[in-house]
Amino acid sequence: MSTLKPQALVLDFGGVVTRTLFETHALTERALGLAPGTLDWRGPFEPASDPLWRAMQADEISERDYWKTRTREVGRMVGEDWNDMSTFVQRARGADPQAVVRPEAERAIRTAHEAGVQLAILSNELDLFYGSSFRERLPLLSLFETIVDATYTHILKPDREAYAMVSEALRLPPETCVFVDDQQRNVDGAVAAGMRTVHFDVAEPARSYAEALAHFGLAA
């Protein structure tokens, strides 16, 4: 373990800052006019019942491939042809991004910011999935020093260069960054890049944020 003091909290976005689409099926069904229980894929919450999720976890398909398939499926359910994830996310989640932010994320981010911890987001698809106007409609993002989004860089986690980009943007050694992600492959990539890490458990967000803040001597 590095002797350098942690200085930055680097977060994945979808699943870490916001609740996953798996957790908001009821909201999605209401927004799209679907009957309750129509959406039955549960990803990490019920992997045994989601073969497509298991294929993604086994690296047989990419995370983007998983969501492309789900996007097309849900589009067909409402009689439309959806080819991009941003359509799905924006139609499912409406005009209020704050409604899907994890309260645990809000508290932890503000706690870190008030303590002087630098904040960054490292995402594979922030604007690709949420749309380019999303950032302006979510005031919480104004607390972040930098957002590195592979929508524009085209360098996806777990490529080592993705982690280098965020540490360079922060002007900090990677050893001083605490990286939080819900995908093990991305956590492994951060370890290889020299960062401290927290594997975020979407089923236990409070515990995961407590673990992240503990690196800085902070309580959740």
- Give residue 91's domain range: 25-97
DSSP 8-state class, residue 146 = E
Tracing tokens 């999720």 back to the chain, one arrives at: 53
Distance between CA atoms of 203 and 156, rounded to whole angstroms?
25
Task: Name the band, by pLDDT with cuts 50, 70 and 90, for residue 3.
Answer: confident
Cα 102 to Cα 5, 105, 124: the distances in Å are 27, 5, 19
Query: Does the residue 55 lie in any domain?
Result: yes
Distance, first Cα to last Cα, the chain: 23
Say what the pLDDT of residue 142 is.
Answer: 96
Task: Name the band, by pLDDT with cuts 50, 70 and 90, for residue 42.
Answer: very high
Over residues 188-194, the mean pLDDT reads 98
Task: Name the band, by pLDDT with cuts 50, 70 and 90, for residue 96.
Answer: confident
Query: Does the residue 2 lie in any domain?
Result: no
Task: Name the band, by pLDDT with cuts 50, 70 and 90, for residue 2.
Answer: low
Are 202 and 44 in contact, with CB atoms under 8 Å apart? yes
Is the same domain home to 136 and 205?
yes
Is the same domain home to 84 and 129?
no
Task: Name the band, by pLDDT with cuts 50, 70 and 90, for residue 220.
Answer: confident
Over residues 10-27, the mean pLDDT reads 94
Are 21 and 92 in contact, with CB atoms under 8 Å apart? yes
pLDDT at 1 over 60: no
Q: Residue 207 belongs to a domain with what CATH number?
A: 3.40.50.1000
Task: Report the mean per-residue pLDDT for the chain.
Answer: 94
List CB contacts of 32: < 8 A, sequence separation 6 or more.
74, 77, 78, 91, 92
| The residue type at 164 | A
Is the same domain home to 152 and 186?
yes
List the Cα angle 207/176/14 in 5-degree steps. Answer: 45
Distance between CA atoms of 113 and 56, rounded to whole angstroms?
34
Query: What pLDDT digit, counting tens, does each position of 130-186 carry?
Result: 888 888 889 999 999 999 999 999 999 999 999 999 999 999 999 999 999 999 999
Is the same domain home to 153 and 182?
yes
Give the global pTM. Answer: 0.90
State which of 49, 69, 97 marks the end of a domain.
97
Query: Does the residue 165 lie in any domain?
Result: yes
Query: Does the residue 91 lie in any domain?
Result: yes
Is the same domain home to 32 and 114?
no
Over residues 96-110, the mean pLDDT reads 92
Say what the pLDDT of residue 84 is.
Answer: 87
Question: What domain count does the chain have?
Answer: 2
Percent of the chain with pLDDT over 70: 98
Is the same domain home to 47 and 86?
yes
Query: Does the residue 3 lie in any domain?
Result: no
Are 44 and 155 in contact, with CB atoms under 8 Å apart? no
Is the same domain home to 113 and 203?
yes
pLDDT at 194 over 90: yes
Residues paired with residue 119 on neighbouring β-strands, in sequence order: 9
Say what the pLDDT of residue 97 is.
Answer: 78
Distance between CA atoms of 81 and 75, rounded to whole angstroms?
6
Query: Does the residue 190 lie in any domain?
Result: yes
DSSP 8-state class, residue 84 = S
Is the same domain home to 125 and 170?
yes
Is the same domain home to 42 and 120?
no
Is the same domain home to 118 and 208?
yes
State which of 97, 119, 153 marks the end of a domain.
97
